[in-house]
Amino acid sequence: MNNEDLILKACDMLHEWFDDNDEHDYSEKEPSDIEYFVGCMLYNHFKFEKAITTMQTMDIGLDFIEAGESCYVEALYSIKQIEVKDDLEAIDLLQDHIHRALGLYGSDKMALYLVERLAGHINTLEKIYKGKVDRRTVDFEKLANKSTIYKGM
């Protein structure tokens, strides 16, 4: 299975799990949360060498993990099978994943809040890798107020 299929498999499994009439519920659930949390799982899997010290990992909501039960473990297993040749390929995979989410939920800006925050971080990380931003100068407050959702921006 290729990397994109592994990502889609993780998303599909989690959507099916959480779309079961609230049997598996967590706080403030939005459909796009699945794509956001899968994005966090991807980010944590890649362990970006040039990530800002305070952003070496991204937290996945404990209530999401607990509600996901065995499905979360299966989705994580799918993510752990992903292999990339370098961090820029990993960033591309994450950006493609984010763009798919934007296509799915693009008409609902509130639903995309977390996905857009992830996009801003990943796009900033890309700029760090390409030498366009010094990671010591990244202002997260400014970044949080200005989401950069387009690949390569």
153, part of any domain: no
Output the pTM of the full model.
0.87
Question: Which tokens belong to 151?
Answer: 């690949």
**Could you tell me if residue 9 is inside a domain?**
yes
Residue 23 lies in a domain: yes
Residue 151 lies in a domain: no
Is 12 within a domain?
yes
CA distance 53 to 58: 12
The amino acid sitting at 54 is T
Whether 150 maps to a domain, the answer reads no
Residue 67 domain-assigned (yes or no): yes
pLDDT digits (tens, 9 = 90+) for 117-131: 899 889 989 999 999
Q: Count up the domains in the chain and report the number.
A: 1
**Domain span including residue 35:** 3-145
| Contact present, 62 and 104 (Cβ < 8 Å) | no
Tens of pLDDT along 27-66? 778 889 999 999 999 999 999 998 887 788 888 889 999 9
Closest CA to 101 of 54, 147, 49, 46: 147
Q: Assess if residue 71 is contained within a domain.
A: yes
